[in-house]
Amino acid sequence: MVATETARTVILILLGLSVLWVIVCVVRNDTATLVRALIVTVLFGVAFYYLNQTKLPTLTVRGIKEDLFPPKPIHASFEKRTAYINGVERTIYSFAEPGPELTLSMEGGGSNLSITDIEPLNRLLRYVGLPPVKRGARELSAITGVSLDTDKYRWEDYALGILIIERGICRNVATTNTYPCVETITIIAR
């Protein structure tokens, strides 16, 4: 993470040096080096222009990537239900197919999938009006050893209670694409 102001200052100094390099190449009539100097000057110029236009307070690779290539907006229909089971409130968000895509990673032996990249999940949680998670989660069956817990992910330390994500396999008929998706989001109040 680098502050945008610091990066802007460094790029401005490098841009000035590259302009000076172009001037030296023109004075010496060195056309082979002049092309390189112009390319470097253009690159620093584009970087300086980007840093002047961005609204990011700090620069990270992910932040720059999302600033230049914003993620696709989520278009998922869902139904929110609230139920009381044994006096405990459960809020359930059920998604119609095709549901929102869930980014998963294989664990050690390949028998379980885990959520390591939480940003797509956090975008979905913000879409339905929920606070984000702070860390990824392993598949619940990898923790409990019970096969009924396959396709479930659980966060005990979630801000609103216990968060459970159930995944499924969705098929987008329009694109004939099959992918892991979120079927339900359940929040068990404490």
Residue 53 CB partners (closer than 8 Å, separation 6+) = none
Mean pLDDT along residues 137-162: 84
* DSSP secondary structure letter of residue 147: G
Using CA atoms, how far apart are residues 46 and 181, in angstroms rounded to an integer?
38
With contact defined as beta carbons under 8 Å apart, do 34 and 22 qualify?
Answer: yes
- Is the pLDDT score of 97 beyond 90? no
Any bridge partners for residue 182, and if so which?
167
Pair of tokens at residue 93: 């968000």
Any bridge partners for residue 166, and if so which?
152, 184
Longest dimension (CA), the chain: 85
Give the residue extent of every domain in the chain.
2-68, 78-188
Mean pLDDT along residues 47-73: 88
- Is the pLDDT score of 13 beyond 90? yes
- Is the pLDDT score of 82 beyond 80? yes
101-142 confidence digits (pLDDT tens): 888 888 877 778 888 888 888 989 999 999 999 998 888 877
> The whole model's pTM is what?
0.69
So what's the pLDDT on residue 93?
93
Calculate the average pLDDT of the chain: 88
So what's the pLDDT on residue 15?
95
Using CA atoms, how far apart are residues 165 and 148, in angstroms rounded to an integer?
14
- Is the pLDDT score of 36 beyond 80? yes
79 pLDDT band (50/70/90 cuts)?
A: very high
- Is the pLDDT score of 149 beyond 80? no
Output 148 or 60, whichever has higher pLDDT.
60
C-alpha distance from residue 106 to each of 9, 103, 137, 156 (Å): 42, 10, 12, 22
